[in-house]
Structure 1
Amino acid sequence: MNARKPNKILSVKDQIADQIRSDIISGDLAPNTKLNEKEMADRFGVSRGPIRDVILQLSKEGLLISKNNCGASVNSILEPKVQRLMIKLRRDIEVYAIEQLKDKLTDAEFSELDTLLSELQTALDKEDYTQVTKSDIAFHKYLINKAGGDELVNLWYPYVMRMRLNYKRITSSTECVAEHKLILDALRDSDLSKASKAIKSNIK
């Protein structure tokens, strides 16, 4: 059994951001919902300062939109043309990342990716679709990070999160995990063409 690295201890601000992110992904906070700083501060038992930091962070991710004198709200659903553009941009970034990873991943890193796929399978088995989304993103983020570090992640991440507001695609447990396994197997085989094709097929 492969030991995983201990979970990083999140700051209060990061915990709040993660919860709001989950609320948006799950649909508990629908597109265009206005957020009230005082209500959020009361909910999490903090001052407005951390809440403003969270709003800024999630705005950078594309999940929220903040306007002067209007406060913050959950971002709107993308128009189909813009959604297609974001899909193309995300695919381009991930194909680029795959190209950088040829023969670069270690056995330990492949083991980490296998564990992430197991977590995705577990979330699907539990029908916890918020966690499914998080596990899905975590798998891709791991690859992006290994390919280009924080710089590439910061370029890629807003596209992923913004697309999630439009995410209506439903796949079975078998299909979802199989799509990711194709990516991983192709990387193990150093087959860039197959890995790129698998990435493009997964991002829809």
Structure 2
Amino acid sequence: MTGPRPSIILSVKDQIAEQLRTDIISGDLAPNTKLNEKELAERFGLSRGPIRDVILQLTKEGLLISKSNVGASVNSILDPNMQKLMIELRRNIEVFAVEQLFNSLDDKDFAELDAILKELQYAFERNDFTEVTKIDISFHRLLIYKAGGDELVNVWYPFVMRMRLNYKRITSGIECVDEHRHILEALRKGDTVTASAAITSNIR
């Protein structure tokens, strides 16, 4: 059994944003749940200003929706046609990223990706499917960042987070880890055709 890597130190606002993401991904905050700034401020022991900043951030990510004079709420589940569109758009972005990565990843990058897969396996061993989802995202995010930096991440990230609201939990650790390992091994060999096919198969 392999334990997780050391955690990165986050700012208070980033910690709150991460907690709310976890609450949404886990279902503790269900779709269409309205958020109360005052209650969130009391929960986290902060003024309402930083809470507004977090709500704005999560709105940009697609997890929340904000309306004037109404406030913020957890975004709704996508209808099947919109979910299908999101899947296709995400696939296109990630295949584009793989093509940009041709023979550009170094040993440090592969070591980090290997470590993420160990975390993924460890999360399955703990039956922590919320963490599985977050680690899954971190694997793909690293590839996107290496391919196009923050600019490409900012294009890609809202699609991924919006899809999380329709996410069907993968309960087979072998299936999930193997799918990501196939992506990684193809990239390690510089085989963009196989890596693209593996990415396309994984995103569903």
TM-score category of the 2 structures, normalised to the smaller one:
over 0.9
1:197 is matched with: 197
Number of residues of Structure 1 aligned to a counterpart in Structure 2: 201
CA–CA distance in structure 2, aligned partners of residues 182 and 6 of structure 1? 25
CA–CA distance in structure 2, aligned partners of residues 5 and 74 of structure 1? 30
| Alpha-carbon contact 2:117-2:177 (below 8 Å) kept | yes
1:176 is matched with: 176
Q: Aligned partner of 1:30: which letter?
A: A
CA–CA distance in structure 2, aligned partners of residues 47 and 133 of structure 1? 30
**Aligned ranges for residues 97-112 of structure 1 at < 5 Å?**
97-112=97-112
Q: Aligned partner of 1:80: which letter?
A: P
| Alpha-carbon contact 2:179-2:198 (below 8 Å) kept | yes
1:73 is matched with: 73
The normalised TM-score by structure 2 is: 0.96
Shift of 1:7: 4.2
Tell me which moved more, 22-31 or 6-15. 6-15
| Alpha-carbon contact 2:97-2:144 (below 8 Å) kept | yes
SS in 1 for 2:161: helix
SS in 1 for 2:167: coil
1:25 is matched with: 25
1:119 is matched with: 119
**Aligned ranges for residues 37-186 of structure 1 at < 5 Å?**
37-186=37-186
CA–CA distance in structure 2, aligned partners of residues 164 and 90 of structure 1? 12
Q: Aligned partner of 2:151: which letter?
A: E
Identity of aligned pairs, percent? 71
1:8 is matched with: 8
Shift of 1:168: 1.4
Q: Aligned partner of 1:153: which letter?
A: V
Q: Aligned partner of 1:150: which letter?
A: D
CA–CA distance in structure 2, aligned partners of residues 159 and 32 of structure 1? 18
The normalised TM-score by structure 1 is: 0.96
SS in 2 for 1:66: strand
CA–CA distance in structure 1, aligned partners of residues 11 and 50 of structure 2? 10
CA–CA distance in structure 1, aligned partners of residues 169 and 19 of structure 2? 23
Displacement over 4 Å in runs of 4+: 4-7
Q: Aligned partner of 1:89: which letter?
A: L
| Alpha-carbon contact 2:183-2:195 (below 8 Å) kept | yes
CA–CA distance in structure 2, aligned partners of residues 195 and 176 of structure 1? 15
Q: Aligned partner of 1:178: which letter?
A: D
* TM-align CA RMSD: 1.3
Q: Aligned partner of 1:69: which letter?
A: N
Shift of 1:6: 6.3
SS in 2 for 1:34: coil
Q: Aligned partner of 2:58: which letter?
A: L
Q: Aligned partner of 1:197: which letter?
A: A
Distance 1:62 1:146, change over 3 A: same
Distance 1:154 1:8, change over 3 A: same
Q: Aligned partner of 1:191: which letter?
A: D
5+ residue gaps, structure 1, are: none
| Alpha-carbon contact 2:64-2:75 (below 8 Å) kept | yes
